[in-house]
Chains A and B, each alone.
Chain A
Amino acid sequence: MDKVAINLTVNGRNRQALVPPRMLLSDFIRHELELPGTHVGCEHGVCGSCNVLVDGKAVRSCLMFAVQTDGARIGTIEGMGADGSLHPIQEAFWEEHGLQCGFCTPGMLVAATELLAEKPDPSEEEIREAISGNLCRCTGYEFIIKAIRSAAQKLREGNGAAQTESA
């Protein structure tokens, strides 16, 4: 089938591409844009490891076609943090052992980003709800919850302060 031209913004950078309609957004991001930080676990919406931000909202990139993102603003894990330094949420995951193998981590970070943008001081219940669509086979989730609570505090205290603290 004919390829379709799309024009979108990925991690703040304008990208143009010709894509076959059946190409999943997850495959477009990983293989065409060569941003392999977005992971693919199940390809049917269940595991959450492929979560990316589309126009600021967390969505499953395995359940969207790349062709649908014409004009959209996409954020992937590679867009977090700046110049090789960790984003405060990443920093909190590091400090609190919010990851082991790291497979689920990009999706967890996207879920946490959306949560903390909407609720700067989430309750434990709200954190559990926010990551309920993300499967982790390693951590048992408790450290992830702790990490998100710590990230919330860092972000409330101001990114700058949080970054210097750990430097």
Chain B
Amino acid sequence: MKPAAFEYECPQQLDAALALLNDANSRILAGGQSLVPMMNFRLATPSRLVDINKLPDLDYVRDAGDAVEIGALARHAQVYASNEVAQHFPIMKAAYEWIAHSAVRNRGTLCGNLCHADPASEMPAIMQVLEAQLTLSSASGARVVVATDFFKGSYETAIAADEMLTMLSISKPAPGTGWGFEEVAMRKGDYAWCTVAATLQLSSGKIASARVAVSGVDACATRLSDAESSLDGQAPDTELFANVAASAALAVDPADNVAVSADYRRDLVRTLMPRVLQAAVESAG
């Protein structure tokens, strides 16, 4: 199918783009790798597109001291290949091996990916584990929302219609932070059936600051606070991990779909989580 007709705006300055968003009919076009398929199927019929691809100075991945900052126009491919990410966030690199394909990553942006908030998307889980800060800008100013408050439901986020996600700021993890990431999907590059991501620290042989998130198994990517509190203060142990995973598998609320049943998704949580935690322990130190 073909997209419905729309008005096209291609502002050259951020202020002009934000002013255009004041109109309720406007929708941002970033990499188009989620929005255009939806328009081709007429699942989305925006009457006006505000193409942000020509806005200057938003295509950065930069070291900002304690954090790495990623601009609205940083493409997946650029983030994937960046030294800053390789050095400070190996968990993002591991996840990128599972995200789309090179031609899609060449255009798609990380910020657009987060705003789209597909329930089976990887980065919403990773950003919650890393507690990334999202700068939401509008004509009347800017606010910062932490990733754990950003994702509200299936394709639903805290962003308002007149706001644009202009920057992502991710604090560099404390030295010694370990991480783990596992996914099962039909094929690499497809949306996840189940993704589990975690970071933790070890302090005198005990787990500290455990952060665990899943995606693909709930309405949106979520942190599992019960799992985290069961891990904190405990010595790493296979039985502990199995118990935490078993409880998490019961706590999530997956739906059946044509490809995969809810029960199978729970099984994936149960199976992948101990591996992720074990990998996190092994890489901590």
Where the two chains meet, the residues of A that have a C-beta atom closer than 8 Å to any C-beta of B are: 1-2, 4, 20-22, 24, 27, 43-45, 48, 51, 57-60, 62-65, 67-68, 110-111, 114, 129-130, 132-134
Contact = CB atoms under 8 A, between A and B. Distances in A.
Contact of B5 (A1, A58, A59): A1
Contact of B103 (A20, A27, A44, A111): A111
Contacts of B41: 44
Contact of A132 (B3, B51, B188): B188
Contacts of B189: 132-133
Interface string B78-122: 000000000000000000000011111011000000000000000
Query: Which size class do B's interface residues fall under?
Result: 20 to 34
B29 to A, nearest CB: 8
- The prevalent SS among residues of B at the interface is loop
A27 B3 CA distance: 12
Contacts of A48: 101, 103
Interface of B: 1-8, 10, 32-33, 36-37, 40-41, 49, 51, 53, 77, 100-104, 106-107, 187-189
Contact of B101 (A21, A24, A133): A133
Contact of B49 (A2, A21, A24): A21
Contacts of B51: 68
Given A57-B106, A134-B101, 4 more contacts: A24-B40, A51-B103, A57-B103, A63-B104
Contacts of A68: 10, 32, 51, 53
A62 B103 CA distance: 12
Contacts of B107: 59-60, 63-64
Contact of B4 (A22, A58, A132): A22
Contacts of A133: 100-104, 189
Given A43-B1, A68-B53, A62 B104 contact: no
18 contacts: A1-B5, A20-B5, A22-B5, A24-B2, A24-B40, A43-B40, A44-B40, A58-B106, A60-B104, A63-B107, A64-B32, A64-B36, A65-B32, A67-B8, A111-B102, A132-B187, A132-B188, A133-B100
Residue of B33, B100, B102, B188 with highest tally of chain A CB at under 10 A: B102
A4 B103 contact: no
A45 B8 CA distance: 21
Contacts of B36: 24, 45, 62-65
B7 A45 contact: no
Given A20-B5, A22-B6, A64-B32, A44 B104 contact: no
A111 B8 CA distance: 30
A38 B276 CA distance: 42
Given A1-B5, A22-B5, A60-B107, A130 B102 contact: yes
B37 A58 contact: no
A75 to B, nearest CB: 13
Contacts of A114: 102-103
Contacts of B40: 24, 43-44, 62
B106 A22 contact: no
Residue of A43, A67, A111 with highest tally of chain B CB at under 10 A: A43
Contacts of A22: 2-6
Nearest to B49: A21
Residue of A1, A24, A60, A132 with highest tally of chain B CB at under 10 A: A60
A45 to B, nearest CB: 5
A63 B37 contact: yes
A43 B36 CA distance: 9
Contacts of B8: 1, 4, 21, 65, 67
Nearest to A1: B5
